[in-house]
Amino acid sequence: MPFKSFIDYLLLEKNYSRLTVKAYQQDLENFKTFINAEYETEDIQNVNYPQIRQWIVSLVDKNISNRSINRKVSSLNTYYKYLLKVGDIKTNPLVKHKALKTSKKVQIPFSETEISMVLDELHFEDDFEGIRNKLIIELFYSTGIRRIELVDLKITSVDFNTKTLKVLGKRNKERIIPLIKPVLNTLIKYIKKRSELTNIQDNHNLFLTKNGVKIYETLVYRIIIEYFSIASSKVKKSPHILRHSFATHLLNQGADLNAVKELLGHSSLAATQVYTHNSIAELKKVHVNAHPRSKK
């Protein structure tokens, strides 16, 4: 495996997910291909910053977004930091690099009305797929979990006695999330339908396809698009927008920021604060409507 020691470091010491590590490896492979084509060498340990800069320029010329370029350079930077740590290089060629400027992406959450329309007004078939799809939407909105976290849920992740869900998040960090009554009711229905499948090939994973195998991320994404395309005209419809809606609606209702941070599985409060712009807008509306001097 190319970059084996670095990959092992990311997996075993940094506890990065295999999906993240795969992205790092792909970025390094792409850089090595560029260096080989431009400078006739595959030795990326001993490149200089002008060579890296040339790679960045080539990415810009391909109309790759600054955000994506920054992510690729970040992968390279992590690799050089690792080489520095183990003593394979003496200086990091990216030590003085400044990231390309990016515009702030404002994620617009679904409104409470749009969520209610999907869960309360749209028709879900009373079969395995219909109940599964409804449960997926309910779980995203009521727990704020990530798409990969939902895909990796096990049957044993659900504790009906304590009414909680055990989630394994980034860097194998475990968190416990309370489950509300409507979700528990749908879970009971889903597990019954799941048990009636005659071709189960994966006994441990909670969410399966109709063929009895572990559900996959693109199918989850398609399920969200399918239902929310009916209820919402927003351009962006995804599991992450449901996670964003979960956090925003909790904050709008006065939830403590630290509590929301724990529910989302964020390692720092700064990561959670990106969800506060909508609740600030809500506060402004309340302030204007309620303050006795606002109508002057």
| CATH at 132 | 1.10.443.10
CB distance 247 to 278 below 8 Å: no
Residues 129 and 201 occupy one common structural domain: yes
Residues 274 and 133 occupy one common structural domain: yes
Domain boundary, last residue among 86, 121, 146: 86
Residue 33 has pLDDT above 60, yes or no: yes
- Of residues 72, 146, 147, 237, which has the active-site annotation? 146
Residues 174 and 248 occupy one common structural domain: yes
CA angle, corner 216, sides to 234 and 166, nearest 5? 90
- Of residues 79, 141, 190, 275, which has the active-site annotation? 275
**pTM for this predicted structure:** 0.65
Pairing of strands 174-178, 158-159: unpaired
Active site residue 237: no
Residue 2 has pLDDT above 70, yes or no: no
Residue 216 has pLDDT above 60, yes or no: yes
- Nearest residue to 224 (alpha-carbon basis) of 116, 137, 149, 108: 137
- Say how many domains are in the chain: 2
Q: pLDDT category, 291, cuts 50, 70, 90?
A: very low
Q: Which residue in the block uniquely carries the two structure tokens 């009373």?
A: 126
Residue 93 has pLDDT above 90, yes or no: yes
Active site residue 170: yes
- Of residues 71, 154, 170, 193, which has the active-site annotation? 170
- Which residues are bridge partners to 158 per DSSP? 165
Residues 127 and 180 occupy one common structural domain: yes
Residues 77 and 221 occupy one common structural domain: no
Active site residue 240: yes
Domain boundary, last residue among 36, 71, 86: 86
Residues 47 and 157 occupy one common structural domain: no
Q: Is residue 252 part of a domain?
A: yes
Percent of the chain at pLDDT > 90 equals: 58
| Distance from chain centroid for Cα 105 | 15
Per residue in 148-176, is it b (16+ CB within 10 Å) or e — as a string?
A: bbbbbbeeebbeeeeebbebbbeeeeebe
Residues 181 and 146 occupy one common structural domain: yes
Residues 168 and 242 occupy one common structural domain: yes
Quick one: CA dihedral 73, 79, 85, 87, positive or negative?
negative
Share in percent of the chain as helix, strand, coil (round to 5)? 60, 5, 35
Q: Give pLDDT tens digits for 230-241.
A: 888 776 788 989
Q: pLDDT category, 279, cuts 50, 70, 90?
A: low
- Where in the sequence is the domain holding 61, given as residue range(s)? 4-86
Tell me the average pLDDT across 23-33: 93
**Residue 293 CB partners (closer than 8 Å, separation 6+):** none
Residues 260 and 159 occupy one common structural domain: yes
Q: Which residue has the higher pLDDT, 171 or 265?
A: 265
Q: Is residue 296 part of a domain?
A: no
Q: Is residue 105 part of a domain?
A: no
Q: Is residue 66 part of a domain?
A: yes
Tell me how far apart the alpha carbons of residues 166 and 92 are, in angstroms, rounded to a whole number: 40
Residues 134 and 56 occupy one common structural domain: no
Residues 126 and 80 occupy one common structural domain: no
- Nearest residue to 17 (alpha-carbon basis) of 187, 171, 195: 171
Active site residue 234: no
Q: How high is the pLDDT of residue 133? A: 96
- Compute the mean pLDDT over every residue in the chain, rounded to the nearest whole number: 87
Active site residue 71: no
Tell me how far apart the alpha carbons of residues 184 and 191 are, in angstroms, rounded to a whole number: 10
Active site residue 101: no
